[in-house]
């Protein structure tokens, strides 16, 4: 084939800057009624046509010729063959103004077919490569087409046929319960009059919605009209949008979520650099901002541009490892709640999933199946001593792997990836269940650990010195109940209780059924420490004195019992609610929701609360924080319709437990430790 890829910017009213593919006729699968004829104006008519409101552009191989045909405004882009590399970053022909490395003009939609402009990247999993994914050498647009299409169908064909549930790989079931549908009987109807507080919350949530080219694409992090210095709280954060998305989905409003998923997908392959270093291709931004900027050379005309932040502007330059994981988790939720599975089946969406997974599953120096990350790579996005293998990332990673396994189309091209996912799922759950779990019995074992054991069958595998057991824990750990510790590294166990990680271990079944039950039991037992006056503590206990100075770097925002350092975050409520419903303890969630309901509106929906019992609105807390509002609404709706909650969590997957790839058996010199552990863990 000699069709080249051609991308053009269009001007629209309100003007959207977008790239139009010549081979993919439908941008994101949407039609953009406002984005039509002007596209044509920007393109050579012999090369581009509009059909049925779809911008279609066919280019010849003469790239440079096409480029100049677009004109001096620089609003066009056309790549072909080896010229792609040269066109990198949309400089000199299309997206301009990358001044200062930031504020690059946004790309709404990109070319789908880069088949002929690519270098191949091969993943490596268990000595078998992933399917070959063709990507462009460093180009900041999304590599959208893989060598083989998902179902042997026409790549460009947006109409996706209903598929049979997908086949098992590694003996584990993949995909899919398609029985729930928006059009079916499971629509969440509002059966009762909502309370005044809920009405206020809905107004605030709707007021936080951000439009891009006339379509809703997300919600800002906070919208306090009195805040004169919003920093980046006027941006759409990926993680913050999740509760907003669920509130909308549970209320039967799927469009904003679909738009969000597709627009962030396009940002995934943005050219991102921090001091000339480019992080991996699959990275999702922490946040993005919609900017309306004057259109160059057009008096009085404006355009919307998307401006992502991959951490290059974030305080501390932290990479948002959790963004891609949340994106995958939300994609699954969208499918399950709306019944619209065509979104996850799209080629570009499938590629997006694979790129995220590729980043996460790439081999490194690791000895552990857990993801190795820097401090501040998740909700806790400032230094809090969670670098290494923090539980929160592992629980989200596990959830994203389980989501991906359900969503990935299984064919010859993906079967190795799916096998890698299954292997990782089983190794990860074993590792967390075995080594992160603490209860009275386990702490007593650690207390009596021998150290410096050199052998493959050491009991104290990570060489933990018993003196590490903190004083507070000795008194705190209840007789019954337990939890997963915050982090595990050689000679280091971080015994702090991190709420989000523990809750997501319950939701995703990363913990065993018994462990999940015990975690909730502990949360109930330690209600005064973890919930008290405002649900829920982000972690317990706070770092104080010298520990605070060294570990946080003397961070004035993270002083003891404030913000990430033992502050109380109402947004954790929806996730707690989900966990409680899963564990058949909705009354616990109701109790927490009732506490929050008493104060959130009166206190103007704070981002977080301070003090040991969460009595004060946080020192530097934003007001009208969207995920506080959305978390409250989502909790309410989940409690009202627990059957919707069941679409968002995962039960234990017993097949995964059978899946050990270490090839050690009972007769070998070295034994597979999982066989021994399995019987006590499954309970």
Contact residues for ligand GLC, defined by CB under 6 A: 221, 233, 237, 239-240, 379, 381
Least CB distance to ligand GLC at residue 316 (A): 10
Residue 516 burial (CB count, 10 A): 23
Least CB distance to ligand GLC at residue 234 (A): 10
Measured from the CB atom, the residue of 27 and 629 that comes closer to ligand GLC is 629
At 373, list the tokens: 């990350």
CA–CA gap between residue 243 and residue 251 (Å, rounded): 12
Torsion of CA 56, 60, 64, 68, to 10 degrees: -50
Least CB distance to ligand GLC at residue 379 (A): 4
Measured from the CB atom, the residue of 379 and 488 that comes closer to ligand GLC is 379
Measured from the CB atom, the residue of 345 and 392 that comes closer to ligand GLC is 392
Measured from the CB atom, the residue of 303 and 381 that comes closer to ligand GLC is 381
Least CB distance to ligand GLC at residue 253 (A): 22
Least CB distance to ligand GLC at residue 308 (A): 14
Least CB distance to ligand GLC at residue 394 (A): 17
Least CB distance to ligand GLC at residue 594 (A): 25
Measured from the CB atom, the residue of 219 and 344 that comes closer to ligand GLC is 219
Among candidates 434, 422, 397, which has minimal Cα distance to 515? 434
Least CB distance to ligand GLC at residue 240 (A): 5
Measured from the CB atom, the residue of 233 and 260 that comes closer to ligand GLC is 233
DSSP letters, 61-120, are S-HHHHHHHH-TT--EEEE-TTHHHHTGGGTTTSS---GGG--PPP-----S--TTS-EE
Measured from the CB atom, the residue of 368 and 624 that comes closer to ligand GLC is 624
Measured from the CB atom, the residue of 143 and 567 that comes closer to ligand GLC is 567
Measured from the CB atom, the residue of 71 and 230 that comes closer to ligand GLC is 230
Evaluate whether 93 touches 8 at the Cβ level (below 8 Å).
Answer: no
CA–CA gap between residue 442 and residue 436 (Å, rounded): 10
Residues in Cβ contact with 679 at an 8 Å cutoff, skipping those fewer than 6 apart:
none
CA distances, 82 to each of 116, 137, 311, 371 (Å): 9, 10, 31, 36
Measured from the CB atom, the residue of 48 and 379 that comes closer to ligand GLC is 379
CA–CA gap between residue 173 and residue 165 (Å, rounded): 9
Measured from the CB atom, the residue of 431 and 619 that comes closer to ligand GLC is 619
Evaluate whether 83 touches 63 at the Cβ level (below 8 Å).
Answer: yes
Q: Which residue is nearest to ligand GLC (CB)?
A: 221
At 417, list the tokens: 């990836």
CA–CA gap between residue 231 and residue 234 (Å, rounded): 7
Least CB distance to ligand GLC at residue 326 (A): 10
CA distances, 400 to each of 264, 505, 508 (Å): 16, 12, 9
φ, ψ (nearest 5 deg) of residue 50? -110, 125
CA–CA gap between residue 304 and residue 326 (Å, rounded): 25
Distance of CA 236 to the CA centre of its chain: 13
Give yes or no for a cis peptide into 92 (omega within 30° of 0). no
Least CB distance to ligand GLC at residue 343 (A): 24
Q: Which of 199-218 are b and which e, b meaning 16 or more Cβ less than 10 Å from the residue's Cβ?
A: eebbebbeebbbebbebbbb
Least CB distance to ligand GLC at residue 573 (A): 15
Least CB distance to ligand GLC at residue 6 (A): 37
Measured from the CB atom, the residue of 107 and 318 that comes closer to ligand GLC is 318
DSSP letters, 156-211, are T-------PPPPPBTTB---------TTTTT-----SPPPHHHHHHHHHHHHTEEE
At 501, list the tokens: 């990680």
DSSP 49: E
Least CB distance to ligand GLC at residue 270 (A): 19
Q: Is the Cα dihedral 209, 210, 212, 218 positive or negative?
A: negative
Measured from the CB atom, the residue of 32 and 504 that comes closer to ligand GLC is 504
Least CB distance to ligand GLC at residue 631 (A): 12
Q: At what angle do helices 626-640 and 196-207 cross, to 10 degrees?
A: 130
At 76, list the tokens: 């066009």
Least CB distance to ligand GLC at residue 102 (A): 18
Among candidates 613, 585, 390, 382, which has minimal Cα distance to 500? 390
Least CB distance to ligand GLC at residue 221 (A): 4
Measured from the CB atom, the residue of 56 and 500 that comes closer to ligand GLC is 500
Could you tell me the end-to-end alpha-carbon distance of the chain, in angstroms, rounded to an integer? 57
CA–CA gap between residue 505 and residue 617 (Å, rounded): 29
Measured from the CB atom, the residue of 32 and 237 that comes closer to ligand GLC is 237
Measured from the CB atom, the residue of 240 and 375 that comes closer to ligand GLC is 240
């Amino acid at each position: 084939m000699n069709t080249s890829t051609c991308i053009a910017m269009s001007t629209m009213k309100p003007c959207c800057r977008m790239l139009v593919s010549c081979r993919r006729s439908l941008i994101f699968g949407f039609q953009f009624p406002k984005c039509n004829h002007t596209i044509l104006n920007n393109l050579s008519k012999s090369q581009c046509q509009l059909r049925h409101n779809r911008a279609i552009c066919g280019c010849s191989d003469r790239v440079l010729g096409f480029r100049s045909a677009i004109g001096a405004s620089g609003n066009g882009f056309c790549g072909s063959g080896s010229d792609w590399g040269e066109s990198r970053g949309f400089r000199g022909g299309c997206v301009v103004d990358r001044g200062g490395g930031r504020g690059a003009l946004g790309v709404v939609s990109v070319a789908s077919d880069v088949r002929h402009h690519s270098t191949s990247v091969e993943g490596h999993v268990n000595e078998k490569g992933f399917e070959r994914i063709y990507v462009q050498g460093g180009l900041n647009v999304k590599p959208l087409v893989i060598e083989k299409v998902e179902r042997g169908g026409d790549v460009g064909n947006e109409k996706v046929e209903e598929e049979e549930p997908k086949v098992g790989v590694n003996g584990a079931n993949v995909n899919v319960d398609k029985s729930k549908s928006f059009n079916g009987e499971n629509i969440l109807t509002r059966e009762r009059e909502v309370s005044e507080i809920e009405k206020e919350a809905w107004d605030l949530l709707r007021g936080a919605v951000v439009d891009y080219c006339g379509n809703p694409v997300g919600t800002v992090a906070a919208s306090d009209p009195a805040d004169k210095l919003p920093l980046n709280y006027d941006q759409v954060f990926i993680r913050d949008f999740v509760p907003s998305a669920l509130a909308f989905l549970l209320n039967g409003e799927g469009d904003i979520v679909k738009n969000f998923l597709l627009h962030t997908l396009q940002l995934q392959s943005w050219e991102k650099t921090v001091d000339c270093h480019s992080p991996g291709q699959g990275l999702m931004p922490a946040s993005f901002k919609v900017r309306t900027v004057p259109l160059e050379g057009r008096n009085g005309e404006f355009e919307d541009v998307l401006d992502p932040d991959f951490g290059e502007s974030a305080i501390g330059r932290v990479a948002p490892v959790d963004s891609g994981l949340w994106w995958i988790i939300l994609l699954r939720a969208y499918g399950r709640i709306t019944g619209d599975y065509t979104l996850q089946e799209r080629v570009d969406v499938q590629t997006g999933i694979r790129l995220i997974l590729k980043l996460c599953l790439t081999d490194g120096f690791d000895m552990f199946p857990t993801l190795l990350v820097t401090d501040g790579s998740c909700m806790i996005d400032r230094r809090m001593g969670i670098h290494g293998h923090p539980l929160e990332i592992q629980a989200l990673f596990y959830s994203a792997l389980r989501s991906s396994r359900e969503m990935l189309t299984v064919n010859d091209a993906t079967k190795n990836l799916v096998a890698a996912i299954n292997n990782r799922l089983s190794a990860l759950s074993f590792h967390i269940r075995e080594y992160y779990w603490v209860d009275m019995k386990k702490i007593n074992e650690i207390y009596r650990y021998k150290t410096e054991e050199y052998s493959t069958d050491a009991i104290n595998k990570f060489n933990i010195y018993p003196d590490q057991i903190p004083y507070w824990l000795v008194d705190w750990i209840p007789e019954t109940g337990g939890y997963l510790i915050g982090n595990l590294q050689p000679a280091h166990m971080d015994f702090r209780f991190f709420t989000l990680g523990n809750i997501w271990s319950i939701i995703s079944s990363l913990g065993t059924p018994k462990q999940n039950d015990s975690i909730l039991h502990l949360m109930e037992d330690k209600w005064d420490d973890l919930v008290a006056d405002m649900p829920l503590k982000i972690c317990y206990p706070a770092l104080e004195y010298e520990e605070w100075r060294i570990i946080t770097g003397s961070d004035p925002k993270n002083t003891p019992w404030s913000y990430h350092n033992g502050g109380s975050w109402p947004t954790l409520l929806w996730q707690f609610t989900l966990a409680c419903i899963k564990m058949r303890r909705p009354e616990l969630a109701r109790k927490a929701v009732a506490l929050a309901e008493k104060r959130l509106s009166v206190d103007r929906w704070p981002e977080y609360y301070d003090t040991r019992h969460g009595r004060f609105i946080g020192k530097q807390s934003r007001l009208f924080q969207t995920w506080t509002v959305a978390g409250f609404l989502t909790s309410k709706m989940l409690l009202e319709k627990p059957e919707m909650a069941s679409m968002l969590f995962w039960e234990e997957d017993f097949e995964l437990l059978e899946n050990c790839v270490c090839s050690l058996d009972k007769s070998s010199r070295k034994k597979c430790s999982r066989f021994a552990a399995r019987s006590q863990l499954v309970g």
